[in-house]
Amino acid sequence: MLDLRDYTLGDDVRAIDWRQTARLGRPIVRRFETPAADDWVIVIDASSSMATHGAEKWAAATRAAAAMAFALLDIGGRVAVMAFGNRPVLEIPAGRGLRQYDLIMRKLGAFNPLPSGEGSHCASCASRLPRSASVLLLSDFFADDGMVSGLTTLRESCRSLSAIQLVDPRDALLPVGEAVLAVDAETGERRPLKADTATLATAAQARTSATHRLQRFCALQGVPFSTWRIDDPWQPALIGHLRSAHGQ
């Protein structure tokens, strides 16, 4: 380590010195003589549930992916990006530097998840992951088993895995008192229901319970896991996730 300096936009958040940050009251980063150059793969859920409400969850995931890619490329890392639905639907091979960042931005900007019929099978990416890579998974985790089986497969296929769950509060909103036709965006399954307060409360509880089960599973598997409401700023969500991933 060479010295300490004030944090500037684009610095690797993993280099933040939290003790000095707390002491001085402003973000401080450590400068290293030889930056770490790990291989990273950012894996993004592109299933149809990510396309609901104007694809805001997909847009949020790509913002977080772009920020993470920039930080990792800035310290000399190699970064690849994958997106999945029923199978891998977008692959950006690993690269370094600003050209790689430009490529990632162009490819992500040109891609949109299908609005219906695309499921969540993150395990389909496993065979394409380098064993030496650190993987960050961005998803809403809408799947029958909360994508637990897929997470297990990914964890066995790379050096390390962490996951961020994107939460859109609108996923649990329905017009109270009205008869509606609920449609599963990924499977196309349709179910008529009448949205009353009890139904909405039950749905919210089920979603909370599913997240808690996912948290417990990730804790047992040593997979750092956090949630991010997409109507909150991404910066503290991403920094908070990386802090927990590194035990800080």
Q: Which of 234, 225, 227, 208 is nearest to 59 (CA)?
A: 234
Contact indicator for 126, 157 with CB cutoff of 8 Å: yes
What's the DSSP call for residue 87?
A: S
- The pTM for the full model equals 0.78
Give per-residue pLDDT as tens, 18-67: 888 888 888 888 765 443 447 999 999 999 999 999 999 999 999 999 99
Q: Per-residue pLDDT for 97 more than 60?
A: yes
Full set of structural domains in the chain with CATH: 1-34 (no CATH), 37-245 (3.40.50.410)
Give per-residue pLDDT as tens, 153-199: 999 999 999 999 999 988 866 655 566 555 555 666 766 666 677 76
